Amino acid sequence: MELYITALRGVIEQSGFIALTGGNLIMLLVSFVLLYLAIVKGFEPLLLLPIAFGCLLVNLPLSGILDPGGFLYFVKFGIDHEIYPIIIFMGIGALTDFGPLLANPITFLLGAAAQLGVFVAVIGAMLMGFTIQQAAGIGIIGGADGPTAIYLCAKLARDILPAVAVAAYSYMSLVPLIQPPVINLLTTKADRAIKMEQLRPVSRIERVLFPIISTLACGLILPAAVPLIGMLMFGNLLRESGCTERLSLAAQNEVLNATTIFLGISVGATMNAESFLRIETIKIITLGLAAFIFSTAGGVIFGQMLKIATRGKVNPIIGAAGVSAVPMAARVCQKVVQKEFPGSYILMHAMGPNVAGVIGTAVAAGAMLTLLTK
């Protein structure tokens, strides 16, 4: 009997219950909330579910899963060395149709205008006491581009990476909740009723030349953005070349899906109680929301300017799609219009600024890297 009690005591003393802290309990609760949002509410489940489960794993004490030699220690290599975000960009490029952007090049400007929140958040972060490098990492949340946010933070401000990654992906998943009120505030019913002309057909040669020319231009003007823009355009060239269908499908499916799993778990693995439960996290999440709102507003306001310049030919709502949450932001624009005018169809028009936003956010990140890397 005594031997049994001794063995039982040994099991209890080596169990995770003994080492469980209040911080672990809070983070486990956070992981449950994220799992609920992913599974029950359907908020970006492909990203949110791996992040939530990674958070759960890393907050189970004594597992050793994140210790040197542990499973997540090696999985995190891809996020610590900016590998996963770049591979994700290749997959995004393979999935992206730049046709709407090429058919209406003026929507490039909407993608640029929707980066307003990036710079608003940078200023706000500096006023709150963050360093300029940390402020840059926080500001990029306004681009609604999780891989770019992770890439930039891994380069400039690794200490705030957990909070920035969670904020970026959380707000990406909450696009359908955040954007409609901003759109409705900055547009009238008459604005939302504007019907746009059908886009012109885009030739195959245009589609093939675009990723090549974009890579050359970006690489020569802003070399720091080459890893992101270059792989985005490489993925798109696989799609548009017409001779690499197998590689394109692999980039869109197997490669992208596997990388998304490891990226999500790695992001979740950064959410241990010690690094996440800080006052800075609350500030970052607040600034991220402000960045996202201002980016949406910047796109819509510039859309209003284009509406005036084109004498009512541009529906200003498509400016909201300039944030690079592809294709969710474009779908939100379509839903806002269809709610009042069921016969209206602006989805393809909104896809122009939507894919321009991906390029715009990557360029903004490259500019920050150029200016702030020592």
CA distance 212 to 319: 26
288 touches 280 (CB < 8 A): no
CA distance 1 to 269: 41
Cβ neighbours for 40, distance < 8 A, ≥ 6 positions apart: none
Closest by Cα among 110, 156, 148 to 302: 110
Return phi, psi of residue 18, to 5°. -65, -40
180 touches 336 (CB < 8 A): yes
**Residue 355's pLDDT is what?**
94
CA distance 101 to 30: 39
**Residue 201's pLDDT is what?**
93
Burial bucket for residue 275 (CB in 10 Å: 0-12, 13-18, 19+)? middle
Dig out the tokens for 63 from the structure: 């597992």
152 touches 138 (CB < 8 A): no
Decide: pTM greater than 0.85: yes
**Residue 329's pLDDT is what?**
92
Report residue 358 CA to chain centroid gap: 9
pLDDT in tens, the chain (374 residues): 666 666 556 656 566 677 788 999 999 999 999 899 889 988 778 888 998 999 999 999 988 898 888 989 999 888 888 899 999 999 999 999 999 999 999 999 999 999 999 999 999 999 999 999 999 999 998 887 888 998 999 889 888 988 898 888 878 877 888 999 999 999 999 999 999 988 899 999 999 999 999 999 999 999 999 999 999 999 999 999 999 999 999 999 999 999 999 999 998 888 888 888 889 999 999 999 999 899 999 999 999 999 999 999 999 999 999 988 888 899 999 999 998 888 889 999 999 999 999 999 999 999 999 988 76
Reported residue count of the chain is: 374
C-alpha triplet 282, 283, 286: angle, nearest 5°:
85
Strands (E), 9-84: none
**Residue 238's pLDDT is what?**
97
101 touches 355 (CB < 8 A): yes
Residue bearing tokens 């972060």: 125
365 touches 226 (CB < 8 A): no
DSSP 66: T
